[in-house]
Amino acid sequence: MKATVNEDCIGCGLCESTCPEVFVIGDDGVAEVTVEEVPEEAEDGTQEAADNCPVSAIEVE
């Protein structure tokens, strides 16, 4: 599984609080993915973060 954050991110921090193993708020104030491949144990949290993103900025494939 791979995750990306698109330009719609508003930097609310919900993804980081939901799945800190994969997401952080960067110096520019928007979310970043910290791993190239989402670890299996973080897949549910990553999907939850994507599902709950208020601006649908997280894409999971």
| DSSP-based three-state secondary structure for 13 | coil
The residues that bridge with 33 in the sheet, in sequence order, are 23
Q: Which domain holds residue 10?
A: 3-60
Contact of 18 with 48, CB cutoff 8 Å: yes
Residue pLDDT, tens place only, 3-56: 999 999 999 999 999 999 999 999 999 999 999 999 999 999 999 999 999 999
Q: What is the pLDDT of residue 54?
A: 98
Contacting residues for 18 by C-beta, under 8 A, at least 6 apart? 45, 48, 49, 52
The CATH code of the domain that includes 48 is: 3.30.70.20
Model pTM score: 0.95
Number of domain units in the chain: 1
Q: Is 36 exposed, middle or buried (0-12, 13-18, 19+ CB in 10 A)?
A: exposed
Q: What is the pLDDT of residue 12?
A: 98
